[in-house]
Every structure is written in structure tokens, then in C-alpha cells.
Amino acid sequence: MSQNATIRRSVVLKHRPDGAPRHEDFEIREDAVPLPVAGEVVTRTIWLSIDPYMRGRLREQQTYAQPVNPGDVMTGETVGEVIASAHADFVPGDVAVGARGWQTHCVTPGERLVKVSRHGAPLSAYLGVLGMPGATAYRGVTEICRPQKGETVVISAASGAVGSVAGQLAKRAGARVVGVAGGAEKCLWVQDSLNFDDCVDHRALDLGAELAAACPNGIDAYFENVGGAVQAAVFDLLNPFGRVAMCGMVSQYNEAEFPLGPNLGFVVGKRVTIQGFIVSDKPEKLAEWRQLAAPWVADGSLVYREDVHEGLERAPDALAGILGGRNFGKMLVRVGADPV
């Protein structure tokens, strides 16, 4: 480290977006990276994760987490290299996941960081298939969808970071797995590379009919990432004792007013369970998932795909992209080089 101050660049919320987030809703702030105080660690960001939940943080209302306010650095999980440490467990050169911020450098209490190996999976995987999205899929599938051999499971946003893992887990459980994705290219990849049994394009003229054709025995479990017309079409096909893991409803995240939903009368007659969950409520599940899935990533049996934007300045565009369904796989921003 030189005696000159290291400059930190941060993406700061300028004003709350109206509809889809735009580049102009954010601005870049520059300052000197501060020294860590006792217990803190300074990381140089390598990868920044872009996830749909971030749109919720831009709303004024508090949900399960504090909103990001104008003037605040935008929040987001990163993988970074430790460049300075005031915490006994971390030394420069360590690689850690868990620092939060759309920033070139993050200052974080050490106990919030998890060290990861520089020599195992690609570092970006700790933000996707081996990270929060993977653990989200794991919880939704194993705790709520609970697919049985021969059952039909539908996964929306099937080519995304969460959906792609959820569907592969349901396949491992022996279910017939049908994806829903946007456009022919994604659907092809979901079938050919992820090995789902079928994939329906949600832009189809008659989504309900196409979904019914792909699910001749009805739907026993649904992993919900999108809401809207896809949700309505799936609900119409649910079987008795169907399970719905409510992970997200990205189709409406840019909306000021949420549209009405399906009439819930069917929930009684079909004894359906609709259950929402937030991955961070059970943080211990992340380590459990990493341990379980790391060998599958290593041997290539758990397939994932990344959609990389280069440079911190691209983060707002990446967020707008994922909210518009324009990502193809796990959305990432490359902020800095891999450790040498």
C-alpha cells in the first residue's frame, strides 16, 4: 500500500426511480478509502452481485429490510480481496464474500464476512450458484416445494440465478420439471443445458394452453419468481395439495401500484400451501448449501450461467436489465481484477 490515499468510488442513490431504474437515478461519489477501525476489514471489490430484490430497497416503504435513501451508497453483495484488516481472522490477500455496497472498496465488520478459497470455484460463483441465489433455490425447493419422484414442478424465471438452481434440484429429486422463461433462446438453454423436461415462453400468445400442454398431469409445486400472468396460469393448473414457494414477483417490482391477484378460492378446495420466504432468515442454510453444492459445481453436474457487465458504472444498467428480464443467467458486475 502506498502512502497516498486509495480512492474509493461508490454508486449513490440520487433519487428514487419512477418505474424502471435508470442510470440518471444514481451518481458516482469518490472519496478516500478509510482505514479500518477495530474489527473492520477493507476489501477491494472484485465482483458485485445484481439481484431483483434490490428494486425493493429503492422504495420508500420499509419491507423486511431498511430502504436505501437518496444519498446512500446502494447495497449489494460482493466478493472482494482483503487489502487492510483490523480483524484477527483476516489478512491482506484473503478473499471474502459478504461485504455490501456498489463500491470499489468496502469497509465491513469482519464477522459479516465469509472467507472463501482462491483456488476452488470461480470467485463469481459465490454470488450465484454457491451464494445467496443458490441457497434461495435450495430453501424454496427443499422446505416448501418438496418435490416427490414423478411430480410436476414449475419454475419461473427458469434461466435466472435462482430458477436455474431450483429446477436442477427438483430434477435431482426425480420430478418432471417445467421452466418458464422469456424468449426462445432462454427456453432452449433451459431444456438443453439445464436438462429441464420442458420450458414454456411466457411471451406465448396462449400461455395457459402451452403450460397445460407441458404439464399434462397438472402442477404439484411451483417456485414463484415472477408473479403476474405466469402466476395466474400456474395457479389454474395446481393439483390438490400443491405447494407454492413464493420467492419473488419480479414482474411488478417497477410498478407504483400492484395489480390485483388471483382469487384464492382454489386454495381451500385444492388444499394448496402458498408460502413466502426470505433466504437471510436462515443464514445457516447458506453454509449448508455451499458445502452440498460445491462438489456439483466442481464436477460440472450443477450448471450455471453468468451475465457479466464490466465496470462499476454499469451497475444501474445491470439492475434495470435484470428487472426487465434482459439478463441471461446470474447478473454480475465485474468491478476489479481477480487476485494475482
Among 12, 278, 292, 308, binds a copy of itself (CB under 8 A): 278
Nearer to a copy of itself, 63 or 291 (CB): 63
Task: Report d(CA 68, CA 75) in Å as an integer.
Answer: 7
Strands (E), 104-205: 105-109, 114-116, 152-156, 176-181, 198-201
Residue 253 CB, nearest distance to a copy of itself (Å)? 9
Nearest to 68 by CA among 25, 7, 24: 25
- Report helix, strand or coil for 89: coil
Name the residue with cell 431498511: 66
Among 274, 292, 294, 308, binds a copy of itself (CB under 8 A): 274
Nearest to 139 by CA among 274, 283, 240, 267: 283
Task: Report d(CA 309, CA 339) in Å as an integer.
Answer: 19
281 binds a copy of itself (CB under 8 A): yes
Nearer to a copy of itself, 188 or 264 (CB): 264
Residue 231 CB, nearest distance to a copy of itself (Å)? 7
- Residue 28 has a CB neighbour count (10 Å cut-off) of 11
Interface of this chain with a copy of itself, residues 213 to 242, rule: CB under 8 A = 227, 231, 240
DSSP secondary structure string, 269-295? Answer: HTT-EEEE--GGGSTHHHHHHHHHHHH
273 binds a copy of itself (CB under 8 A): yes
282 binds a copy of itself (CB under 8 A): no
Nearer to a copy of itself, 174 or 262 (CB): 262
Q: What is the per-residue binding string for a copy of itself in 240-269, x denoting contact by CB under 8 A?
A: x-----xxxx--x-----xxxxxxxxxxxx
Among 9, 87, 146, 270, binds a copy of itself (CB under 8 A): 270
Name the residues that contact a copy of itself, by CB under 8 A: 56, 63-64, 227, 231, 240, 246-249, 252, 258-278, 281
